[in-house]
Chain A
Amino acid sequence: MHEMSLVEGVRELINDAAVREGFSRVKQVRVEIGELSGVEREAFAFCFDIVMKGGIADGARLEVIATPGRGRCAACKRETALAAIYDPCEHCGAYPVEVVGGTEMRVIDLEVE
């Protein structure tokens, strides 16, 4: 359940931004969570509601943008879709595939007032 720690990280980024940007209420939080980031989105959303309670993002809507996993095949050098980091290349069936996308964990923006 490291999703709890990750959401606490989001809360700290929000609190820091509130001081910097001078807002007192967050209505929506948009995050990007890659499919290969090891983050369970359901758990993340569940923790979000709990962690934000009593703070400036209490009740805020969470929007999660899921970036698909992408890899580059070591054998045929082509880009391939990657549902899991141990998947073979979709073109030639070889391993290993170097992960080039889908591990993101970012706060994109906040809707505030």
Chain B
Amino acid sequence: MCTTCGCGEGETKIEGDELHAHTHADGTTHSHPYAPGRTHTHAHARTVRLEQDILAKNDAYAAANRERFAARGILALNLVSSPGSGKTTLLVKTIEALQGKLPIAVIEGDQQTSMDAERIRATGAPAVQINTGKGCHLDAHMVGHALEKLPLEKGGVLMIENVGNLVCPAAFDLGEAGKVVILSVTEGEDKPLKYPDMFRAARLMLINKCDLLPYLQFDVEKAIGYARRVNPLIEVMRVSATTGEGMAEWLSWIEKGAAATSGK
């Protein structure tokens, strides 16, 4: 059992912490009000009003993460997309481009393997992999535990690469300053309407793999129109992590955000 918050073991694994990581899938963890052998009398049926948000626990963990980031002046971004949009390549290129200018640490979320964290560590940046097992998204609690393993430099940036999934991660606040949704041009331009919750939750949309546009039918303006229909305020940038097209705008967006967060 985790001594920090009392959570039990489950399928989630955080690198370097195989024994203590967990989800709350088994129903027997945390304080249980029905202790075996405890004597009690049966009261009459009554109604208990809760009026509590179902995500209240996650949101409390997210608030704790957010405080932690604020105390160190760290810009935390939650990167979300379908599988295969090029998130990890984009991250690797971003870290390489900002090397020596801005310290970046990474939390990698995938159902299985630590391949992505290894790709990040090859750049020299610290990274921790969270494997969610059967889980389809990262939650704020997992991120809180991953942070215990990750050195965060004051005034730096934390990139949280969520599990590739345009549905579930939309609902779970991790304590980030903003969600960045990555849409690659090899997907359909109608993704913002098919998965509107995610595009509504995001602050910035990166249209990635733009170098492939000459070979595809992808209509960029249509994709942007659809995204703005569900989220009029969403910022949009066209990039190619492979050729470097549009990367300067993205890098300067991060640098500005980091400077505003750290107050420099």
Residues of A participating in the B interface, judged by any CB pair closer than 8 Å: 1-2, 4-6, 8-13, 15-19, 21, 23-25, 27, 31, 37-38, 51-56, 74, 84-86, 95-96, 99, 105-113
Q: Does B216 contact A (CB under 8 A)?
A: no
B24 touches A12 (CB 8 A): yes
Interface residues of A, dominant DSSP: mixed
Residues of B participating in the A interface, judged by any CB pair closer than 8 Å: 24-25, 27-28, 30-34, 40, 42-58, 135-137, 139, 167-168, 170-172, 192-193, 196-197, 200, 226, 228-232
Which residues of the partner chain A approach B34 to less than 8 Å between Cβ atoms?
18, 24, 55-56
| Least distance between A38 CB and chain B CB atoms (Å) | 4
Alpha-carbon gap, A95 to B200, bound state (A): 14
How many A-B pairs fall under 8 Å by CB?
Answer: 128
CB-nearest residue of chain A to B42 = A113
Instruction: Given the known inter-chain contacts A15-B33, A24-B33, please indicate yes or no for A6 contacting B27, CB distance below 8 A.
Output: no
Alpha-carbon gap, A6 to B54, bound state (A): 6
A13 touches B50 (CB 8 A): yes
Instruction: Given the known inter-chain contacts A2-B137, A38-B197, please indicate yes or no for A109 contacting B30, CB distance below 8 A.
Output: no
CB-nearest residue of chain A to B33 = A18
Q: List 20 A-B contacts (CB under 8 A).
A: A2-B168, A5-B172, A6-B54, A9-B55, A11-B27, A13-B57, A21-B48, A23-B46, A23-B48, A54-B27, A55-B32, A56-B34, A85-B196, A86-B192, A96-B232, A99-B200, A109-B47, A111-B45, A111-B47, A113-B44
Which residues of the partner chain A approach B49 to less than 8 Å between Cβ atoms?
108-109
B52 touches A113 (CB 8 A): no
Interface centre among A19, A38, A51 (most CB of B within 10 A): A38
Which residues of the partner chain B approach A12 to less than 8 Å between Cβ atoms?
24, 30, 57
